[in-house]
Structure 1
Amino acid sequence: MGPVLAMRWRALLLLTGLAACASGAAVDPRSVLTRETLDASPTPILLAELPELETAATLAPVAARDGVVHWQTADGVRISLRDGVAVATRGTGFDLMSADVEGSRRAALGAGAAGYYPRFHTYLDGEDQIAFVTLQCRVTGRTAETLDLIGLGVATIRTDERCHLPDRSFDNAYWRRADGTVVKARQWIGDGAGYLLTERLTR
């Protein structure tokens, strides 16, 4: 990648970073992203949105270990995914400290047994004490769906998942392309942050 393209790409990541909305005027990454720019990227690019917090950003991978890919914005906000399923966040203000999502991961990849499986989330409460949340989840449907990822058509299998707490439930969804990669997901990560939406924008 040439110096001009590198500079342009760093500027794009900064423009769409989560901290860009500190002034209260959030930047919609889709308003500045193009398929031409994405195809020229030397690294995979993830678009992440937290609708409850009215924020969105592009992220690039900064590390990978034990099957978990750590994606980060230009200003240091991080989302960690295992096969497209969120296992941690940092810097959102309402972080998911860690998660055991093996059942959801297998479901997203089209595997796993029928029936319920657990999903465990760990948070810090208002006194910085560890709080555990256990959800019971099950697959509620699978359908074929073609996505438009900013000008890129992708054929996928969508897996719908419902996860239950004692007093409420949440509906997650994962879109998997033919090679097994989860290219899009919508998943509940906690009371403060609400739903996390992710789209893998590069080929």
Structure 2
Amino acid sequence: MALPRNYCQRAPGSAYRPSGRSGLAKCSCGPGETFEGLQKQFTAFPFGPLLFYASVFWNVVGAGFLGFILALPFVNRYAHGTYFTSAHAHMALFGFLGFLVLASSYYVLTREKTLKDSHVRRVKLCLILLNVGLGIMAVNLIIAGFLQTYLVRGAGMDFGLANFLLRPYLLLRGLGGMVFAAGALLLAWEMASTALGRRH
């Protein structure tokens, strides 16, 4: 049986009013204690939608599309264990799960605090650095994975020689890692400062 929008399940410490024979109780919780209220708060949260949509994007591209391609037997036979797999892991692990955890954590840490515009701008800069860095890493790992598959498992080239030829893409991957690390360190500082109450 579907519950009306203004009803919720009984929870310890919540105030309710009886509603007749239905056996339900009308909830008198505050606006932030119901699902609809939490949804509105999350939508108004400066970073919530941005982090959530970033998580969805990396999930669809990295965990979904690239994971599906790698799972095909005729592709997996050649591409398994190459830089293709590394690109899939980067996008699926931090791209999907990481941004989802960040969205939840930052919402919990700051939902009752008033954030200054300067703090919001710094965190948005962190998110841009994280996404750009992850994108650079993913693109170069995909290119390196394609070339590695062709050179080693298609043309039969020596593994060490193939890796030497792939060095430009791996160096660019390292550049993306530095951009990503800069965003991660800045975001860690902002989260720690917010949690400790040193800045808002």
TM-score (norm 2): 0.26
TM-score (norm 1): 0.25
More strand by proportion, 1 or 2? 1
> Larger C-alpha radius of gyration, 1 or 2?
2
